[in-house]
Amino acid sequence: MKIYDFRSDTVTHPTPAMRQAMANALVGDDVYGEDPTINTLEAKSARLMGKEAALFVTSGTMGNLLAVLVACGRGDEVIMGRQGHTFLHEAGGVSALGGVVINTIPNQADGTLALADLEKALRSPEDIHQPISKMIILENTQNDCGGVPLSVKYCDTVGEFAHAHSLVLHLDGARIFNAAISLNVQVSDLTRTVDSVTFCLSKGLCAPVGSVLCGSNEFITKARRLRKMLGGGMRQAGVLAAAGLVALDNMIERLAEDHERARLLAKGLAEVPGLRLDKGTPYTNMVYLALSPEVRLDAPAIVKAMEKQGILIGDTGKRTFRLVTHHDVDDEAVAACIEAFQKVMSRAV
Ligand SMILES: Cc1ncc(COP(=O)(O)O)c(C=O)c1O
């Protein structure tokens, strides 16, 4: 039986072009700054994001953590969305490793953080009882709010707000290219007011490993030292960066296909009795849905039943799911997923 994996775009395999580039990559000791392939990837990434410099890191989590560690000292506070990946899914690293306080505010349904909530979250610098507000983190696309892209106008507004209050703005841009493609804008338009941005090569872009943190020269110099401290200084990692370069050269434009397949998937699933699609889904490559009240099985049971049909999906709660389209999911996979849901739900309602 063929298995189709809709759990995440992180399950994508490196393409044949990536494997070839990895085999042929020129390498050197990157801790000495001597890996030419990493240097090329970093220069290209900085250009794409409209920043002075970039740093190749092992993961999105490490990129986000480094950004916070550069900008915030122990006892400083970072403001982020309650549904932000940096709050929910990064093991509290900024507090555990950096002594940084997390202040969460609600994400609105469209993924944004309301300016009024940001304003309210600000600490009083004169009050010795309070931590010091240092940073805001946005996420684009905002994964847990449906993979929704944040607009250029909104990013600019938060950038202006942050700088007016002497705060640093970091962007978790794990899927920033999905946002740019769906909004039909340049990625650098989405990053122009942020001080730092992390983007991932290892999700929809299909590279096996790696993310890139971008910012000013001074910021990246500090992040490079901290990356070494965290044990993230890699040596001949040009074999990984080579796949990252293929990702940036060949895999960005095709994300539109993933978005189109997510639309087809949502359209098919909307017809299946017992399933309720979230409002607005899909915005990009993620379909979020729930079970109707009359369905007697819960989400984990549905996940198991779907697995028996050769379809892997993820539950996000007792009665909710997320399905993600990506390079390794073709039209046949979308049709198979809809058919499997029809079968499973006919027994579950
Ligand atoms: C929005 C978002 N940010 C950050 C990350 C972290 O990336 P990594 O898994 O490479 O640490 C993820 C991973 O799925 C993510 O979805």
CB 278 within 8 A of CB 111: no
Flag whether pLDDT at 349 surpasses 90. Answer: no
Q: CATH topology of 14-250 equal to that of 254-348?
A: no
Q: Are 201 and 212 in contact (CB under 8 A)?
A: yes
For residue 110, the CA-to-ligand 1 centroid distance in Å is 19
pTM, whole model, 2 decimals?
0.98
The ligand 1 atom at the shortest distance from the C-alpha of residue 58 is 10
Which bin fits 98, alpha (ψ -120 to 50), beta or left (φ > 0)? alpha
Domain residue spans of the chain: 14-250, 254-348
Distance CA 204, CA 112 (A): 22
Over pLDDT 90: what percentage of the chain?
Answer: 99
Ligand 1 atom closest to the CA of 141, numbered from 1:
1
**Centroid of ligand 1 to alpha carbon of 70 (angstroms):** 19
Tell me if 282 sits within 8 A of 146, measured CB to CB.
yes
pLDDT of 306? 98
The architecture (CATH level 2) of 254-348 comes to Alpha-Beta Complex (3.90)
Fold of the CATH domain 14-250: Aspartate Aminotransferase; domain 2 (3.40.640)
Asked if pLDDT for residue 34 goes beyond 90, the answer is yes
Which residue, judged by its Cα, is nearest atom 7 of ligand 1?
Answer: 60
The answer to whether residue 285 scores a pLDDT higher than 90 is yes
